[in-house]
Each structure stands twice: as C-alpha cells, then as structure tokens.
C-alpha cells in the first residue's frame, strides 16, 4: 500500500507545465524563457469544415498546467481554442489547470447598458470554468468586477508598475497624468500617486459602441506634458479625440500608454496621424509586422506573468508582486 500524506499536510502540486494556444506564441515563448521551462508540445489543427482539434503530445496527468492564451483577435477563434484545450487538459487528468489570459476579450461587455443586452464577459467566465480551468491569471481586466464573474480563484495582475517605470524614465519636466474617461479614474489615480504627479480627466460620451461623440478636458493641462493612461486601445477613437482635446487646452505634448494594444482595423493609421507623439503598449496582444510603427513602443509583460506563474505554482503570495 502507498504511504498516505499526513492529514492536513499541503497537497504537493504536480510538475509545472506550460502550454500555449495560437493567440500569442511569442509571449508564451518569452514566459517559458523567463521560467527556464520548455513549452509543452501541442498540435492545433483544423478539420475540413474549420472545427478545431487539439493533440497534447505528452502526458499531463497530475501536472500543474498553465495554459497561455490571450483572447485577442480573432477573438471567437481564440476563445474556442481556449475552451477546447482546457477540455483536453481536464480529460487528460491534469492535476490543476490555470488559464493564463493576458487579454480578456469581451471584457467591455461586463454589464447591461441597454435593455436585452447580453453580459458576454460573464458568459466567457462561465464557459472557461465549465471547460476545466481551476484558476485564472488575468491582466488589467477592463473592469475589476470581472474577477467576481468566476467562482474559481483569479489572480488579477496589473501592468501599472511597468508603465510607471516607463513614465519615470521619460523625465518629463511638467507632466500630468490623464484619464481618457471617468471609468479609468482609479487606474490613473494609482499611476499619478506612484509618480507624485497631478491628474486630469476627459469627459467622454459614447452614443453607440465604437463611436465617441464628446470629449471635454477637466483639470489643468495648459503648458503641460500630458500622459494618457488607459487599459486598452481598440479603434483608437477615444485616444485620438483625447489628444485633440488636450492640445486644444494647451498641452505641449501628448503620449498614450495602455496595457492592451487591440489596435483594430485602421487604428494605427489614425493614431499615427494624430497629435500623439508616442504610443506605448505591452505585448499582451501580438502586434503584426504590418501594424508596427516607430511611434509604437512595446514593453514586455512576460517577466511579470512568469513571476506570477511561479508564485502560483509554489503557493506563494501573488499580491506581493504589487508592492
């Protein structure tokens, strides 16, 4: 008979295993390099009609598996991959499965804003859990409340420190940190407090999704270097409008920093043609070569994600990372 672990003794996690879907293999490789661990072999193929199939090459039985898959464009495809790989891992008897989702698609649909709206962010959380995730690691979710959409533990990381360090190194003589909307007030307040800088807000009104109609600056930006901090840039409409509003109020320069560069459609062209001097994003979402531009600077989030994975694996505090 096998010796039993003493009652109450912590359960030893299995060996750490890293897997990646197709969403951001470059980020997964950087995380693996930072952890000095290989990425486990997995083949994602298509049936003739486009259905996804997954073959995990080696046993994951009992292992502490981290599946890296941001649900960026193509959003539905990357979500389906995430669900199907989670299902395969669960059926292969993985000991514990953590879905590492550096960008959470559908996060902006986290509440009903009109009658008969879906709450897609909650639906995705339900399916992720149903498919087999035991834990989630997320990064700068559009709304903090999305953590509560899961009944499993969520470690919610932030790129704030990375952005703060970047701003600090700019040595701007007269900087003001700007929130592009009221929803971003807490994020911008945190960044400004860490840098001991003043803040300003932009009042934004959206008559329809993806359309911004009015942007008014609240606070003093005259003669100042405006640094706008947001969670994501999608069509670029918000930040292009903000940059014009800030310049009209006398800001001498405008820079924008965001965790997630969704950069949908012609967003890059719009941003590059605007008064914005510099656009700083992280690599939570891959930026295809066709969208790369000298005005866009990419900071890597891989060291933070790698450290969080290690801490979860070793049952150590993740909140320590924010101190």
Q: Which residues are catalytic?
A: 204
CA nearest to 205, candidates 240, 227, 180, 228: 180
Q: Of the ranges 54-62, 88-96, 156-164, 235-243, which one interacts with ligand R5P (CB under 6 A)? A: 235-243
CA distances from 273 to 13, 220, 265, 278 (A): 51, 25, 15, 11
Q: Does 238 bind ligand R5P (CB under 6 A)?
A: yes
Q: Residue 184, by phi and psi: left (phi above 0), alpha (psi -120 to 50) or beta? A: alpha
| Candidate list 126, 210, 277, 315; residue touching ligand R5P; CB under 6 A | 210
Does 231 participate in binding ligand R5P (rule CB under 6 A)?
yes
184 binds ligand R5P (CB under 6 A): yes
Contact region for ligand R5P (CB under 6 A) — 76-84, 232-240, 244-252, 313-321?
232-240
Q: Per the structure block, which two tokens stand in for 17?
A: 């295993």
Tokens representing residue 99 in the block: 């879905």
Binding segment (CB under 6 A) for ligand R5P, from list 30-38, 117-125, 233-241, 277-285: 233-241
Phi/psi-derived region of residue 84, left when phi > 0, alpha when psi is between -120 and 50, beta in every other case: alpha
The nearer residue to ligand R5P, 96 or 122, going by C-beta atoms, is 122
Do β-strands 199-205 and 214-218 pair in parallel, antiparallel, or remain unpaired?
antiparallel
Q: Which H or E run includes 232?
A: strand 225-233
Query: x/- binding map, residues 95-134, to ligand R5P, per CB under 6 A?
Result: -------------x--------------------------
Written as six digits, the tokens of 313 are 């694996």
Integer Rg of the chain from CA? 21
Residue 210 is encoded by which pair of tokens?
A: 């993806």
> Are the C-beta atoms of residues 25 and 18 closer than 8 Å to each other?
no
* CA distances in angstroms from 307 to 16, 113, 157, 304, listed in the order given: 13, 37, 11, 5
Shortest distance, position 236 Cβ to ligand R5P, whole Å? 5
Binding mask of the shown chain, residues 128 to 167, with x at each position contacting ligand R5P by CB under 6 A: ----------------------------------------
Q: CB-wise, 62 or 183, nearer to ligand R5P?
A: 183
Site for ligand R5P contains 234 (CB under 6 A)? yes
- Binding segment for ligand R5P (CB under 6 A), chosen from 81-89, 110-118, 122-130, 177-185, is 177-185
Q: Which of 40, 230, 249, 307 binds ligand R5P (CB under 6 A)?
A: 230
Positions touching ligand R5P (CB under 6 A) are 108, 180-181, 183-184, 210, 212, 230-238
């Amino acid at each position: 008979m096998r010796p039993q672990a003493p009652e109450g003794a912590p359960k030893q996690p299995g060996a750490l295993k890293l897997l990646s879907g197709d969403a951001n293999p470059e980020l997964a490789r950087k995380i693996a390099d930072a952890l000095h661990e290989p990425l486990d072999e997995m083949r994602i193929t298509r049936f003739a009609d486009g259905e996804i199939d997954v073959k995990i090459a080696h046993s994951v039985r009992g292992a502490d598996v981290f599946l890296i898959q941001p649900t960026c464009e193509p959003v539905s495809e990357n979500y389906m991959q995430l669900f199907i790989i989670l299902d395969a891992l669960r059926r292969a008897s993985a000991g514990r499965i953590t879905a590492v989702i550096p960008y959470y698609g559908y996060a902006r649909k986290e509440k009903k804003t009109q009658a008969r709206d879906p709450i897609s962010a909650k639906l995705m959380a339900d399916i992720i859990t149903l498919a087999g995730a035991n834990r989630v690691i997320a990064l700068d979710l559009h709304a903090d409340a999305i953590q509560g959409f899961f009944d499993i533990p969520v470690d919610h990381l932030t790129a704030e420190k990375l952005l703060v360090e970047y701003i600090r190194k700019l040595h701007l003589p007269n900087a003001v940190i700007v929130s592009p909307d009221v929803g971003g007030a807490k994020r911008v307040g945190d960044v400004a407090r860490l840098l001991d800088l003043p803040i300003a807000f932009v009042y934004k009104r959206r008559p329809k999704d993806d359309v911004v109609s009015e942007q008014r600056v609240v606070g003093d930006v005259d003669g100042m270097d405006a640094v706008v901090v947001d969670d994501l840039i999608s069509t670029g409409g918000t930040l292009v409008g903000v940059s014009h509003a800030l310049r009209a109020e006398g800001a001498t320069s405008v820079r924008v920093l965001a965790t997630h560069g969704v950069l949908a459609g012609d967003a890059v062209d719009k941003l590059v043609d605007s008064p914005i001097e510099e656009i700083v994003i992280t690599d939570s979402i891959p930026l295809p070569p066709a969208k790369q531009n000298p005005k866009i600077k990419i900071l890597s989030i891989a060291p933070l994600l790698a450290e969080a994975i290690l801490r979860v694996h070793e049952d150590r505090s993740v909140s320590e990372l924010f101190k």
